[in-house]
Structure 1
Amino acid sequence: MFRVVISGAFEELDDAGRAAVLAAGGAAFTEAGTFTHDGTLRSFTFRCQVPAGPQDGEREATERALAALGAHRVPHRVLRVAMTDLRDIKIRRKRR
């Protein structure tokens, strides 16, 4: 599983685009993705969670995350993509 954060800027949102962004608001990582944005709806952060198979890498995760962003059909420009591969996270349990 990958958690992907895409930072970007909106480009000329119309009323339907504004409504779509506001409807997908939130800070959770979901497969459909959620937006957080500034008050003017100029810049945004898009968070999504991408399932990963054993052979999937960052390139595939980036493509799936960009597809999830594109599914919202809002004009945008991507500035930065960051991701965390949750398969690499080690959980250290407290000893009792």
Structure 2
Amino acid sequence: MFRVTIRGTFEELAEDDREALRTAVDAFPVAFTEAGTFTCDRSLSAFTFRCQVPAGPDDGEPEATERAIAALTAHGYPHRILRIGVTDLREIKIRRKSRTSGASRASRQG
């Protein structure tokens, strides 16, 4: 799974697009979804688009970027991309606390 964050600006939004975005901006969840979600300010000048992209065994950042841009484009708002950040969740290591570390810490404090 990839998480892709696209930062950009809206370009030449039609008034109906502006109205739809203003109405929806408060309803958009701040989350990574496959369809993608926007966060932006009320002026609708800049946005952050978050998209979660499934990863195939041979997929890398270029494929994830391409799919995220396609999801952004599918929303239909004219835009200009400024930056793209991709995180490959397959590479994230989760450190779990061992059960003994809490007990040994408590015995040292006691």
Instruction: Tell me by how many angstroms 1:15 deviates.
Output: 3.0
Q: Which moved more, 1:17-26 or 1:51-60?
A: 17-26
Number of the residue aligned with 2:70: 67
Number of the residue aligned with 2:9: 9
Counting helix residues as a fraction of each chain, which structure ranks higher? 2
Q: Could you report, residue by residue, the CA deviation over 1:37-74 in whole angstroms, capped at 9, with x for unpaired residues?
A: 02200100000100001100000000000000000000
Counting strand residues as a fraction of each chain, which structure ranks higher? 1
Unaligned runs of 5+ in 1: none
Give SS of 2:52's match. Answer: strand
Mapped contact 2:22–2:42 kept (Cα < 8 A): no
Mapped contact 1:32–1:68 kept (Cα < 8 A): yes
Aligned length: 96
Give SS of 1:90's match. Answer: coil
Counterpart Cα distance in 2 of 1:40 and 1:79 = 18
Give SS of 1:65's match. Answer: helix
Q: Return the letter of the residue paired with 2:5.
A: V
Instruction: Tell me by how many angstroms 1:23 deviates.
Output: 3.1
User: Which structure has more RCO (C-alpha within 8 Å, separation ≥ 6)?
Assistant: 1
Q: 1:89 to 1:22 in 2, by over 3 A?
A: farther
Mapped contact 1:7–1:80 kept (Cα < 8 A): yes
Give SS of 2:62's match. Answer: helix
Match of 1:53 among 41, 50, 56: 56
Number of the residue aligned with 1:92: 95
Instruction: Tell me by how many angstroms 1:16 deviates.
Output: 3.0
Instruction: Tell me by how many angstroms 1:93 deviates.
Output: 1.0
| Identity between Structure 1 and Structure 2 (%) | 68
